[in-house]
Structure 1
């Protein structure tokens, strides 16, 4: 098994693992890799990455935005992927983060200290005007505060973009203070009950103070005039792909402003446990979301990630797992996107059991451990860079 890990880290596309079937244990050979079903923006994405790697275009940033469920919300997979990509291509920042910390979720690159805020989630609510990401931080009283603290501090400038909504016609509902407690000039138009995004340049940590007539959405943190890669993780525990339908239709404007070069969709695990799922509706919704991304980001490549290997119990996979994965692959073909088979990358069907034996998967046979998600990220990183290397 040690050779297996060295094999992956060496960035080879073929993985050989021990897979456990229902009847018996047997050795399974699987091939993982990023498959291109004709994405029209693959060449541009590859070219931009190669340009950064060769330092031909200083100041250039490649933005990668991953949407997903709990596998993404933990930021263990995306956190390791972010680290590896930034080691190779340069660190251009943290990317999108929730306005405050969310219970049960995590971000490896940032911490929050906050006071007098409630969190509304599109996972449990349907009657709110949610921005991209599906979270709203709402002050419980005047003088609500948030301090955003990067895990690694430096003395460089950051560009901070806030998505917010003012509930009254006021221009002083939000105030920002830098690391020296100096008030930062933050100008915005008081567009009542409309989500908007404004940006400032400041060193971090940053303090946001707000009256109770404001709602906060996501916050973007990028290094000012720094070339490299940004990997954003936008996810919710327990989410299905249709969570997007709970967000305000205007959220695609925020996606467009992200200038993402690659959008990754990592959903499907929760759908695979849904025995009442309408497969035709699921397919229709997935196609619609991909087309909305194309409309918002006409120059971005799109990559679908299948669910990782998952089991409902010790003997079988979730009832809808195979069908969900098949639909995702069929849609990737019909909509001409990229595709990465996470299950195959782990070793194939029932490989989650051998991952659990090695301490890489949790007892629920659904989620991975910290080291497991990091290992998955290393495989994905290796496969993506192999794909970039082979494309001209």
Structure 2
């Protein structure tokens, strides 16, 4: 059950404030200048809420995250971040509030599944050291906020990429895998080797034929994502 909600983001002016509808209650959010967002404490625990904004012409509110507070102190809390098409540099160069927001989460374990959009180029143009340096910049920010958190690197899936409105195979999967293996060794992290689990180079076609990837052989189907989620969960929670 949800007992509170942090709404992270930026308003165009001080007159723009979010509100939360929880059951029959409509609650005003209080500005949290320390975290660059708003917070509301609910009157009683609920399973879901609706967030709204009273906006006039010319006003806007950019939501950068929603972080619910639970009344249950045990178990596992999962927080995800990421948008379609993002690169590693999206976090290092375009997310100035990333550090403050990460401090609010205080993760015990960070799963790093970035990198496929960093490698959508011909094999001759992929630079492993540049790839690793971009990752190092991100990792330094993560470890500054959570120095004791465990790191799990998820290697890229085998994939195809767009070139002039057509799809060609992305030949950088093995090189990205090697770069992540080296980063994991450097940072004493673990690796969930998705690239090898799939079958390595060229395996995206077999996954598409099995209904686990879409026709672009880049994105998974719902069934594919559910399978990967189940395998990752088991890899983390089950002892060998």
**Alignment match, 2:81:** 234
Partner of 1:310: 159
* Residue matched to 2:111: 264
Contact kept, 8 Å, 1:287 with 1:335, in 2: the verdict is no
- Distance in 2, Cα, partners of 1:277 & 1:210: 46
From 181, 188, 191, the counterpart of 1:339: 191
Aligned to 2:232: 380
Q: Distance in 1 between matches of 2:30 and 2:62?
A: 16
Query: Is 2:6–2:66's contact at 8 Å kept on the other side of the alignment?
Result: yes
Q: How does 1:287-306 map to 2 (within 5 A)?
A: 287-306=136-155
| Alpha-carbon distance in structure 1 between the residues aligned to 2:72 and 2:232 | 28
Q: Superposed, which structure 2 residues align to 1:134-213 within 5 Å?
A: 156-170=1-15, 173-180=17-24, 182-188=25-31, 196-202=36-42, 203=46, 204-211=48-55, 212=59
Give CA-to-partner distance per residue, 1:315-348, whole Å, 9 cap, x none: x842322222211111111121111100112233
Look up the SS of the partner of 2:81 in the other structure: strand
Verify the 8 A CA contact 1:160 1:200 in the aligned structure 2. Answer: yes
2:98 to 251, 254, 259: 251
| Deviation, structure 1 residue 254 | 0.6
Are 2:2 and 2:68, in contact at CA under 8 Å, matched by a contact in 1? no
Secondary structure of the residue that 2:77 maps to in structure 1?
strand
Q: Distance in 1 between matches of 2:225 and 2:39?
A: 33
Structure 1 residue 266 displacement after superposition: 0.6
CA distance in structure 2 between the aligned counterparts of 1:197 and 1:323, rounded to whole angstroms: 40
Q: Secondary structure at the match of 1:162?
A: strand
Output the CA distance in 2 between the equivalents of 1:215 and 1:364. 31
- CA deviation string 1:251-308 (max 9, x = no partner): 2111111121111111222223223444332211111211211111122111110011
Alignment gaps of 5+ in structure 2: 163-167
Is contact 1:165–1:195 with CA below 8 Å preserved after alignment? no
Distance 2:74 2:112 in 1: 25
Query: For the structure 1 residues 210 and 298, does the alpha-carbon distance in structure 2 shift closer, same or farther, using more than 3 Å as the test?
Result: farther
In the aligned structure 2, how far is the partner of 1:382 from the partner of 1:277? 32
Structure with more relative contact order (C-alpha pairs < 8 Å, separation 6 or more): 1
Aligned residues: 226
- 1: CA distance between counterparts of 2:216 and 2:186? 34
Secondary structure (helix, strand or coil) at the match of 1:217 reads: strand
Aligned 8 A contact 1:167 1:213 in 2? yes
Give 1:88-103 correspondences, 5 Å limit: none
Q: Structure 2 CA distance, aligned partners of 1:378 and 1:329? A: 23
CA contact (8 A) 2:19 2:26 kept: yes
For residues 379 and 196 of structure 1, what CA distance do their matches in structure 2 show? 36
Superposed displacement of residue 214, structure 1: 4.1
Matches within 5 A, 1:210-229: 210-211=54-55, 212=59, 214-229=61-76
Q: Using the TM superposition, give the Cα deviation of residue 350 of structure 1 relative to its aligned residue in structure 2, in angstroms.
A: 2.6
